[in-house]
Structure 1
Amino acid sequence: MSHSSDDTTDLLVEMAVDQEIASLLAAIEQEEIPDRLSKLAIELQNALVEKRRRDVKS
C-alpha cells in the first residue's frame, strides 16, 4: 500500500507540528511557575473535573 504525495505531506506537517508542540512544552516545563498560577491551575482542573462529572450524570 503506497502513500500519495498528499498523505506524505500531511504526515510531514503533522510531525512538524508535533515537534513544535513538544518543543514548546519542554520550554514551558523549564519555566518557574508562580504560586498563584499553580493555585489557579489546580482550581481550573478541579472545576473541569466537576463539570465533566455533571455532564456524565446528565
Structure 2
Amino acid sequence: MLTVHPLPAFDDNYIWLVEQQGQAVVVDPGQAPQVSGFLADHGLTLAAALVTHRHSDHTGGV
C-alpha cells in the first residue's frame, strides 16, 4: 500500500513523501532536514525525488 506523508517546509509549503515497502519518493524537497529526518526516523530509503519546477522552495533540499 502507498502511504503519503505531508512534511511541513518553510512557513507555507509541504514536501510530499510517498512510501511503499521501505522505499520513499519525495516531491518538491525544498528543505533537506525534513526529508532526511523523516527517512531516518521511519527506516526508509530514498528511491527518487520529483521536482515540479526550479524555484528554490521546491529544489533547495536536492
TM-score, structure 2 normalization: 0.21
Higher helix fraction (1 or 2): 1
Higher strand share: 2
